[in-house]
Amino acid sequence: MKVHGVFLVAVFFYLAYTQLISGQPLKDCQTSCGNVTVEYPFGTSPGCYYADDPSFKLTCSDKEKLFFRRNLEVINISHSGELRGWNNISYTCYNSQGNVRTYRHKSYMFNVVGYLRNLRNVSQFPLVLDWSIGNQTCEQVGNKSICSMSNSLCFNSTRGTGYNCKCLEGFEGNPYLSNEHGCRGTPQIVLSINITVRNKDGGFYCKCKSGYRLDTTNMSCKRKDFGWATILLGTTIGFLSILLVVSCVQQRMKHRKTAELRQKFFQQNGGGMLMQRLSGGGTSNYNIRIFTEEGIKEATNGYEESRILGQGGQGTVYKGILPDNSIVAIKKARLGDNSQVEQFINEVLVLSQINHRNVVKLLGCCLETEVPLLVYEFINSGTLSDHLHSSLFGPSLTWEHRLRIAVEIAGTLAYLHSSASIPIVHRDVKTANILLDKNLTAKVADFGASRLIPMDKEQLTTMVQGTLGYLDPEYYNTGLLNEKSDVYSFGVVLMELLSGQKALCFERPQQSKHLVNYVASAMKENRLHEVIDVKVMTEDNNREIKEVARIAVECTRLMGEERPKMKEVAAELEGLRVAKAKHQWSDQYPEETEHLVGVQIISAQVDSSSIGYDSIKNVARLHIEAGR
């Protein structure tokens, strides 16, 4: 019987030990002492505290006070590894080495705050101890820890040795127990019709319906209250929204007003008439492009001042760069009044068909602006005026250059007067309107003042046009500008080519301020050499210069009917140039020249009508007609 009884007792203690090390204390263990809760791994009796370490044993006195190691009164135990209590005050505590004494154990440690003074009438002092399980980390102990396997988590102690346990998020209870007192599920909450509780891994979360907020104090949903911040935010958002809507409406109205204004200008400048002509039937091959205002603004960089190429009586010319990187000249033309619109459109259409090598080509126009814009090809070597009167273009033009330029200008004007599909009067011929390309080829430009010649020339009345110094004096008496007006202006250009001086110069004597009077009086008094540019006067070209001067004087006669026609002028100048070329060729090839002279004598005997001016005219005609 004794043996049997001993065996039962041994079995009981074995089961108890097994239960303790697996995180299950014995039943009927004391759970409180006074007002302090006693929880595993701490306990007051064998089988109720952690079996591997008796340091977790606590003592409950008769006065229902809980003590750790007899003299430390326990007031609270935390699962996270803290023990709070009251400790008797000691002024000095030294260990055997003479240092401040430190109580140590393999499973707990506490320090005394050191040398305490001036604490009168105080017998105890609060103290916090850090405690942990064992002396191994979570990694070292592995799955042998006493933490609950399902709902608790092992973490290394903050004091450097051992480990502690804690419940997973969403669970509460004793993480060192695996029974019903261990880490439990969702806490009790107050439910309402406005709250929704949803599970998640390791816990739960609560969500209130729209318009409600979660009050965590009692886990209930309350209606949201809109404070001043919310009101201010709502007001600001509303104001900004109204401002945005108003801005959008204004932009739309501005865009609509701009579009209406562009359409108004387009019709006012003859856009409808132009489109009708372009879309009409017939064999005319109009080659003109209609530009938009946005395209012109982009090409001129908003009419930037640095893009201005020149300004004159007929408008301002800008340098423009099209999207394909081609360079053009964009001119703001000037119209007299609305009655001129039909003639302007006719000119645009006619000029768009002109394909003459010595006329600046009109590429297109823009009619969406208050002032019509004309787009021309860009000539990059300046004007004839620049080359004659400015030092910016290097050496002066030679006589050969000047004679060739005179022939090209004359041939162009003759073509416009006589050979174009509809005759055109330029009305503003001057050296500033003659452009030169990189080869010094003349390009007649600026047709802003040009007008088509009507069938009844007596109807060609106009407002003041032209430039002082080049303007036909007959215009002041008749108020008419016709093809003979271009002849007069060209005569002035010839005089500039001969003299290298400006058409109107107030530094010359009173009767010679106008270049026409200056050259005419020099011719009459046989002192032409005084007015001729010394840079071009040589013994070889003396006769040619006199002939050109004679032609210039004839072109600038007071009465228009006494002036030659442009095709006659072009023929004479071309004849001088051909004769000069023959002379130069004969000097280089004398034998061939003698043979050609014999042939010309025989030809002259056969047809005497070809002698003189008419034979020259036939040569010039080929040059003029070649422009089409």
Confidence of residue 361 (pLDDT cuts 50, 70, 90): confident
Residues 6+ apart with CB under 8 A from 461: 479, 480
pLDDT tens digits, one per residue of 40-56? 899 988 888 887 678 89
Q: Which secondary-structure segment (H or E) carries 586?
A: helix 566-588
pLDDT tens digits, one per residue of 305-322? 999 887 766 678 899 999
Specify whether the CB–CB gap between 295 and 302 falls below 8 A. no
Average pLDDT estimate for 586-615:
43
Lowest mean pLDDT among 503-507, 508-512, 578-582, 583-587: 583-587
Cβ contacts of 93-99, under 8 Å, gap ≥ 24: none
Let me know if 428 is a catalytic residue: yes
| pLDDT at 203 exceeding the cut of 70 | no
Confidence of residue 211 (pLDDT cuts 50, 70, 90): confident
**Token pair of 396 as six digits:** 């002066």
Q: Which secondary-structure segment (H or E) carries 620?
A: helix 613-625
Instruction: Tell me the β-bridge partners of 315.
Output: 312
> What is the β-pairing status of strands 434-436 and 327-332?
unpaired
Report how far apart the first and last C-alpha atoms of the chain are (Å, whole number): 145
pTM over 0.85: no
Residue 588, Cα to own-chain centre: how many angstroms?
A: 64
Q: Which secondary-structure segment (H or E) carries 341?
A: helix 341-353
| pLDDT at 519 exceeding the cut of 90 | yes
Helices marked H in 417-474: none
Gap between the Cα atoms of 298 and 324, Å rounded: 12
Kindly state the DSSP code that residue 309 receives in the 8-state scheme: E
- The confidence score (pLDDT) of residue 125 equals 79
For the domain 381-628, what is the CATH code?
1.10.510.10
Specify whether the CB–CB gap between 169 and 14 falls below 8 A. no
CA 534, 539, 544, 548 dihedral sign is positive
Gap between the Cα atoms of 94 and 112, Å rounded: 10
Please name which of 370, 385, 399, 377 lies closest in space to residue 326, comparing C-alpha atoms: 377
Average pLDDT estimate for 522-526:
92
Per-state percent for the chain, helix, strand, coil, to nearest 5: 40, 20, 40
Specify whether the CB–CB gap between 252 and 262 falls below 8 A. no
Gap between the Cα atoms of 310 and 320, Å rounded: 13
E-strand ranges in 255-307 read 289-290
- The confidence score (pLDDT) of residue 95 equals 64
For the domain 259-378, what is the CATH code?
3.30.200.20
Percent of the chain with pLDDT over 70: 71
Confidence of residue 574 (pLDDT cuts 50, 70, 90): very high
Catalytic hit among 201, 225, 386, 428? 428
pLDDT tens digits, one per residue of 437-489? 989 999 998 775 566 555 444 444 445 567 888 999 988 888 888 899 999 99
Phi, psi of 85 (to 5 degrees): -165, 180
Confidence of residue 422 (pLDDT cuts 50, 70, 90): confident
Average pLDDT estimate for 329-337:
72
Please name which of 96, 91, 49, 93 lies closest in space to residue 68, comparing C-alpha atoms: 49
> What is the β-pairing status of strands 362-366 and 289-290?
parallel
Please name which of 397, 541, 560 lies closest in space to residue 473, comparing C-alpha atoms: 560
Gap between the Cα atoms of 503 and 391, Å rounded: 18
Domain ranges of the chain: 2-167, 187-231, 259-378, 381-628
- The confidence score (pLDDT) of residue 458 equals 46
- The confidence score (pLDDT) of residue 96 equals 66
pLDDT tens digits, one per residue of 84-126? 998 876 655 666 676 665 444 333 333 437 344 555 566 777 8
Please name which of 410, 412, 438, 433 lies closest in space to residue 424, comparing C-alpha atoms: 412
Strand, helix or coil for residue 609: helix
Domain 187-231 maps to which CATH number in 1.10.10, 3.40.50, 3.90.25, 2.10.25? 2.10.25
Residues in the chain: 628
Q: Which secondary-structure segment (H or E) carries 400?
A: helix 399-414
Please name which of 169, 209, 175 lies closest in space to residue 192, comparing C-alpha atoms: 209
**Token pair of 196 as six digits:** 């929704």
- The confidence score (pLDDT) of residue 36 equals 92
Residues 6+ apart with CB under 8 A from 163: 132, 133, 134, 136, 137, 138, 141, 145, 147, 154, 155, 156, 157
Confidence of residue 24 (pLDDT cuts 50, 70, 90): low
Please name which of 89, 87, 86, 85 lies closest in space to residue 117, comparing C-alpha atoms: 89
Residues 6+ apart with CB under 8 A from 303: 297, 318
Average pLDDT, the chain: 77
| pLDDT at 340 exceeding the cut of 70 | no
Confidence of residue 69 (pLDDT cuts 50, 70, 90): confident
Average pLDDT estimate for 357-361:
90
* Helix and strand counts by DSSP (H, E) for the chain: 15, 25
Confidence of residue 352 (pLDDT cuts 50, 70, 90): confident
Residues 6+ apart with CB under 8 A from 16: 26, 47
- The rounded radius of gyration (Å) of the Cα atoms in the chain is 57
Residue 192: other Cβ atoms inside 10 A: 14
- Exposure string of 197-230, with b = 16+ CB inside 10 Å and e = fewer, is eeeeeebeebebeeebeeeeeebbbeeeeeeeee
**Token pair of 554 as six digits:** 């004839």
CA distances from 257 to 254, 264, 556 (A): 5, 10, 52
Percent of the chain with pLDDT over 90: 28
